[in-house]
């Protein structure tokens, strides 16, 4: 065969191979670019870095990344808390999630202090719930206190000023008509467990996602009893305070607590804005519920979140989130549609 033909054929073959490689390479690069474009960046505004809500935000953000199969990247940002999250909501980017309670959002919509009138607050929409801040009324078993009414004549630590536990304790004692008969002590919350364990006070109140480490530590050191309002008392408190909901602390949550305890809790959830696309809200909501079982293995507090918790979000659902709940057959109150 002629040498020129051999080299000519080889040259053509090389050109064809090079062209093929370029086509494949360009296709791969295009696919990589397309994949990158499909990744949606989400900002999550939680609370202070040492707050329970910040920890929960980190946990559900990791779950959303897994549940979304790489469709999302989430950046958890520290914030000053629920009130600041809601204040910032109208000016936040469309792909921003934040933790709040429905009572604070409603307060903002009314323009009540510390909020000023802003129509942007009506653009807030709910996506999914997180563990509620549950009130624990704890007493020593040997205190002789078997109900909240029995606190009369005893010393008790209601929690720090302005806290959920302090506010709920005041509401319960007022409902029972014994607010002047209980010696409420304003002491450092960090020192309250030691005061209970050394029998200097009869008990304390604390709010958090159960199991609360403080309650667990006390229960391991000394036998405790958890108290809760009686049905009639509970009904009065809930009628007077739309911030609270009924919550059950399951038996076995704490050492020595062998029966369910009915108490009060302040709901919390993850919210966004109507500016977020329905597709993104749908995908985020679906990703969360697909990972809910995995979350309970990381933190038992997530066990308290179930389909019934959705109604406690209290604010209209994002259209994308509503689509998911309808598909999943999860009941949604008419007011939230």
Q: Is residue 50 exposed (0-12), middle (13-18) or buried (19+ Cβ within 10 Å)?
A: exposed
> Residue 53 has which token pair?
């809500």
Which CATH class for the 38-130+269-336 domain? Answer: alpha beta
Give the residue-averaged pLDDT of 314-327: 97
Query: How large a percentage of the chain has pLDDT more than 70?
Result: 89
Cβ burial 13-27 (10 Å sphere, 16+ → b, else e): eeeeeeeeeeeeeee
* CA distance linking residue 242 with residue 19, whole number of Å: 69
Domain(s) of CATH 3.40.190.10: residues in the chain: 38-130+269-336, 133-266
Q: Flag whether pLDDT at 21 surpasses 50.
A: no
* CA distance linking residue 90 with residue 272, whole number of Å: 10
Residues 205-254: tens digit of each pLDDT: 998 888 888 999 999 999 999 999 999 889 988 888 878 889 999 999 99
Q: Is residue 319 exposed (0-12), middle (13-18) or buried (19+ Cβ within 10 Å)?
A: middle
Mean of the per-residue pLDDT values for the chain? Answer: 88
Closest CA to 63 of 260, 288, 300: 288
> Residue 204 has which token pair?
């304390």
Residues 150-191: tens digit of each pLDDT: 999 999 999 888 788 898 899 899 999 999 999 999 888 789
Architecture of the domain made up of 133-266? 3-Layer(aba) Sandwich (3.40)
DSSP assignment of 200-211, as one string?
A: SSSEEEEEESSS
Q: Flag whether pLDDT at 33 surpasses 50.
A: no
Whole-model pTM?
0.75
Q: How confident is the model at residue 138 (pLDDT cuts 50, 70, 90)?
A: very high
């Amino acid at each position: 065969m002629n040498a020129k033909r051999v080299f000519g054929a080889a040259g053509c073959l090389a050109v064809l191979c090079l062209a093929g490689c370029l086509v494949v390479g360009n296709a791969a690069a295009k696919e990589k670019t397309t994949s990158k474009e499909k990744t949606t960046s989400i900002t999550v505004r939680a609370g202070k870095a040492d707050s329970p809500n910040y920890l929960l935000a980190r946990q559900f953000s990791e779950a959303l990344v897994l549940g979304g199969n790489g469709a999302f990247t989430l950046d958890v940002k520290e914030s000053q808390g629920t009130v600041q999250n809601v204040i910032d909501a109208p000016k936040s980017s469309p792909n921003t999630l934040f933790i709040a309670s429905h009572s604070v959002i409603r307060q903002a919509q009314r323009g009540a202090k510390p909020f000023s009138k802003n129509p942007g607050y009506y653009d807030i929409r709910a996506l999914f719930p997180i563990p509620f801040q549950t009130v624990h009324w704890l007493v020593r078993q040997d205190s002789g206190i078997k109900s909240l009414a029995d606190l009369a004549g005893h010393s008790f630590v209601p929690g720090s000023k302005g806290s959920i536990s302090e506010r709920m304790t005041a509401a319960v004692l007022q409902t029972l008509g014994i607010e002047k008969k209980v010696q409420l002590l304003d002491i450092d919350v960090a020192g309250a467990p030691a005061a209970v364990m050394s029998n200097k006070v009869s008990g304390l109140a604390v709010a958090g996602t159960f199991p609360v480490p403080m309650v667990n530590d006390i229960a391991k050191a000394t036998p405790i009893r958890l108290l809760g309002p009686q049905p009639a008392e509970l009904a009065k408190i809930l009628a007077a305070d739309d911030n609270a909901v009924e919550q059950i602390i399951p038996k076995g949550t704490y050492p020595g607590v062998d029966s369910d305890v009915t108490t009060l809790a302040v709901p919390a959830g993850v919210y966004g804005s109507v500016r977020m696309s329905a597709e993104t809200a749908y995908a985020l909501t679906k990703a969360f519920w697909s990972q809910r079982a995995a979350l309970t293995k990381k933190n038992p507090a997530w066990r308290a979140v179930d389909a019934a918790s959705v109604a406690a979000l209290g604010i209209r659902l994002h259209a994308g989130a509503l689509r998911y709940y309808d598909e999943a057959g999860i009941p949604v109150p008419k007011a939230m549609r």
